[in-house]
Amino acid sequence: MTKKPVYPVVTLKAGREDSLRRGHPWLFSGALARIPEGLDPGEVVTVASASGDALALGFYNPQTDIAIRILTRDGQAVIDAAFWRERLQSALALRHRVVPADTTGYRLVNAEGDGVPGLVVDRYDRWLVLSLATAGMDRFREDWVRILEEALAPDGIYERSEGAARRREGLSDRSGVLAGAALPEVVPIAENGFSFAVDIAAGQKTGFFLDQRPNRELSGRLAAGAGCMLNAFAYSGGFSVYGIRGGAGRVVSVDISERATALAKRNLALNGLSEETHPVLTADVFKYLRETDETFDLIVLDPPAFARGRKDLARAARGYKDINLQAMRRLTAGGLLLTFSCSNPLDQELFEKIVLGAARDAGRTARVLQRLGPGGDHPTDLGHPEGRYLKGLLLCL
């Protein structure tokens, strides 16, 4: 019989367990009273109250402000392959309920939202992309590869563990095939009856903006009757395909990346659509909006993250205000604007203040028709607002 592991105990300061009891999955370094010596980054620890009650288990890392990421509020649990397997089965069951049957690209595991902090798994048809963001989850890489192979038998598993979050955890970037066949140049996926080519190895994020699926659907409905639509920061043309098929007379797609616009052209062709009617332009969106004399009935603004940390907020706010201001100046009277921010440090309230400021400077009245976010395959805990990185607005001006 395997002996149950005894995890090192980290004790909280008196009264600092309140956020944990409210469901927040992070504990910051200032909440900790006693920490055993010699703990390694990513080690599993027991979180105890000041009175000694075992409250939770979590990953500990002394190198980050987020000192502990909660794994379970069962202080007697064991963190092993069986624990992760159960988490995966719960995540799979949810996706079967919320992902359309004709869609083969979606988020399979969404970090804290699925009780697996530091892990994202995206599914692109028969391929899985694994992203590990924390020192704790890095220790379980091999376990997750085995579990995913057992549960889903994919053609392959590709790792894209990159970015500032890993560096804050003291980790270097990693990418490459972890299991299965050689990765093809692009992986085709289906989404709501449309086809898209996904560049897993070199595309943005893990290859496709899976979180925007419900907003792409919305753009298709809004495009009905639109004379001209602009997809700004178009990347691989997802919003453009929906807009054209939705009925827009002309859709202009703009992105600064030649690789992105090549992929957008490929995706238009995959869906039987012509660039002659719906041009794809490689250009700086800020410059394009300032210089074009064309007006649009529908504009989609989906820029990259302008803020990676709180220190970037002031600069990001200026960027978001400027791009929204320029877009509003190119909207027809009664035109619709779908505007987004994926900057984690910038919350919904601040985003709306920025967009309101842009509307005032543009001399336009903006009415909120809908507040937007990702689909159900990107769950977040209600008590974890930091997990809701994607925020958006549907405005009528």
* pLDDT over 50 (residue 214): yes
Do the beta carbons of residue 81 and residue 143 sit within 8 Å? yes
Does one domain contain both 86 and 67?
A: no
Question: Please, which contacts does 301-304 make with residues 24 or more away whose CB atoms are closer than 8 Å?
Answer: 301/232, 301/233, 301/327, 301/337, 301/338, 301/339, 301/340, 302/209, 302/212, 302/231, 302/232, 302/233, 302/235, 302/239, 302/338, 302/340, 302/342, 303/232, 303/233, 303/340, 303/341, 304/204, 304/233, 304/342
pLDDT over threshold 60, residue 2: no
User: 172 lies in which domain range?
Assistant: 81-187
Is residue 3's pLDDT more than 70? no
> Above 90 in pLDDT, residue 152?
yes
On whether both 284 and 375 belong to a single domain, the answer is yes
pLDDT at 22: 85
Within a domain: 151: yes
Residue 183, domain member (yes or no): yes
Clarify whether residues 373 and 281 are in a common domain. Answer: yes
Structure tokens at 253: 């797609």
Same domain, 150 and 279: no
Residue 394: band (very low, low, confident or very high) from pLDDT cuts 50, 70, 90: very high
Residues whose CB falls within 8 Å of the CB of residue 285, separated by 6 or more in sequence, listed in order: 232, 233, 254, 255, 256, 303, 323
Q: Considering 128, 153, 187, which residue would you say is the last residue of a domain?
A: 187
Q: Which residues are catalytic?
A: 342
**Mean pLDDT in residue range 289-307:** 90
Q: Are residues 15 and 92 in the same domain?
A: no
Position 284 scores a pLDDT of 94
Shared domain check, 88 and 120: yes
Domain count for the chain: 3
Q: How confident is the model at residue 162 (pLDDT cuts 50, 70, 90)?
A: very high
Q: Is 146 found in the same domain as 85?
A: yes
- Token code pair at residue 93: 């069951």
Mean of per-residue pLDDT scores for the chain: 93
Shared domain for 152 and 278, answered yes or no, is no
For residue 198, tell me if it sits in a domain: no
- Cβ 310 vs Cβ 345: under 8 Å: yes
Out of 45, 72, 99, pick the residue that ends a domain. Answer: 72
Domain end marker among 72, 94, 109: 72
Burial class (CB in 10 A: 0-12, 13-18, 19+), 155: middle
Buried b (16+ CB within 10 A) or exposed e, 131-151: bbbbbbbbbbbebbbebbbee
pLDDT at site 234: 94
**Residue 1 predicted with pLDDT over 60:** no
Q: For residues 127-137, give the mean pLDDT.
A: 97
Same domain, 64 and 96: no
In a domain, 302, yes or no: yes
Let me know whether 132 and 270 are in one domain.
no
Quick one: tokens of 273?
A: 């659509």
Query: Is 55 a residue whose pLDDT tops 70?
Result: yes
**85: domain CATH number?**
3.30.750.80
Mean local confidence (pLDDT), 190-200:
96
Instruction: Give the model's confidence band at 120: pLDDT under 50 very low, under 70 low, under 90 confident, else very high.
Output: very high
Judgement on whether residues 58 and 103 belong to the same structural domain of the protein: no
CATH number of the domain that 333 lies in? 3.40.50.150
- Band of residue 21 on the pLDDT scale cut at 50, 70, 90: confident
**For 335-383, how does the pLDDT look when each residue is reduced to its tens digit (9 = 90+)?**
999 999 887 778 889 899 999 999 999 999 999 999 999 999 999 998 8
Average pLDDT over residues 67-93: 96
Q: 380 and 259, same structural domain?
A: yes
